[in-house]
Amino acid sequence: MVKKEKYMRWIDKFNQGIFQIYAGQTIEGFQPLDFFHFFPMWYDLWIEQIILVMDTLNLDHKSYQELKGLLSTPSNIRAILQKIMPSWRAFPVKNPTSCRRVTNFFARMLEEACPEDPFAENASPCHTAREINNLHTTVPWSVADPGLAKIYGRLITAAGSLVHGLYNDVVTDYGWDTYGPYQFDRGIMLIRHFPDCQAPELWGAQFRATVKEILMYGYYEDVEWKIAGVGCHTIVKKGSPVTGLKKYAVLADGRALNVSEIEALTTELAAKAEMIYRDIRTKDFEELKKMVMLQECFQLKKLFDAAGIDWRPTAEMLARIKDKPLLTGLIPPGKMVTSVEEYKEMFGINIFAREVFDA
């Protein structure tokens, strides 16, 4: 009973954070297809593959610090959880034990990675105080002004556009996270992270950026931020990020960029994003389903590789979706989510909690 209450608490706190992604939105806003009527067709099979990885690597007995190099960003882990739970009610084969193990593992990783706010109810602090103080003193800062703040903002927009092309709405959070805000005496530091702008396993060379990883450090005064559920949902609560940005640094594959290099990278990323969008628009329904499944599996590639298990969709997973229409009737179309309770009901979270954790 103690164990059950502990796990129910993480679900409740998780809902408080992740609900914010959907507040005021409908499922039709997600592209290039309706994921919530697609994932249930095959996600049960993927969960069993994850169980194989967990058993091979003994993950139930490993800490976040031991696994950090094999895991994707905290926002991406939150995104995986928020796909499993709504999908459960339509799984062709239901294995509550497997779902309980997988979701508890990812929840534990978040609790260890971001102990102050694991499910991003308000923030996503995933650095220790020592790490942040070290970054604050060692980052190669440049002084900002409103003009430079706009250049900085355009790079965020271009990198975000590329991520939405490389990974679509399905795994945006694999390619884009934000950490913080970290408070200092006079201001706060926010770190934006684009860990993989290339994804050669998913895209040909013509679509990939010339840099893989981008880290953007911003130091703001008189600006209040909120990270709502996932890093790409970073919201200004108070103040202006244009006049409030006092220092900044942009690192591409570990090298600090000057202003002209930032502008050139912005142009490149925007052009690559447009190329990808044009390519996606040429795909038919069967191609889109395969692309989305591959993108979804890709986010756990490092873990699968470490276990010596092929990360790509299995033949059985592909057979589940081949020539099949999407499911219908799970989440009402056109319905906007207005409260946490409504989110839990619409997305089947209450059903998941009851059937998986009471099983």
For residues 327 and 73, is the Cβ–Cβ distance under 8 A? no
Give the span between the Cα atoms of 200 and 265, in whole angstroms.
19
Q: What is the widest separation between alpha-carbon atoms in the chain? A: 60
SS (H, E, C) 127-192: CCHHHHHHHHHHCCCEECCHHHHHHHHHHHHHHHHHHHHHCCCCCHHHHCEEEEEEECCCCEEEEE
Residues with Cβ < 8 Å from 347, sequence gap 6 or more? 22, 36, 85, 86, 331
| Residue 193 β-bridge partners | 177, 215
Give the span between the Cα atoms of 41 and 320, in whole angstroms.
7
CA distances in angstroms from 122 to 40, 119, 233, 263, 281, listed in the order given: 29, 8, 11, 31, 36
For residues 170 and 123, is the Cβ–Cβ distance under 8 A? no
Give the span between the Cα atoms of 208 and 61, in whole angstroms.
37
Give the span between the Cα atoms of 174 and 166, in whole angstroms.
10
Total count of residues recorded for the chain: 359
Tens of pLDDT along the chain (359 residues) come to: 334 444 557 998 899 888 888 776 666 666 788 888 999 999 999 999 999 999 999 999 999 999 999 999 999 999 999 999 999 999 999 999 999 999 999 999 999 999 999 998 999 999 999 999 999 899 999 999 999 999 999 999 999 999 999 998 879 999 999 999 999 888 999 999 999 999 999 999 999 999 999 999 999 999 999 998 888 889 899 999 999 999 999 999 999 999 999 999 999 999 999 999 999 999 999 999 999 999 999 999 999 999 999 999 999 999 999 999 999 999 887 777 888 898 899 999 999 999 998 85
Q: What is the pTM of this model?
A: 0.93
Q: In this structure, how many other beta carbons lie within 10 angstroms of the beta carbon of residue 298?
A: 23
The DSSP symbol for 92 reads S
For residues 81 and 107, is the Cβ–Cβ distance under 8 A? yes
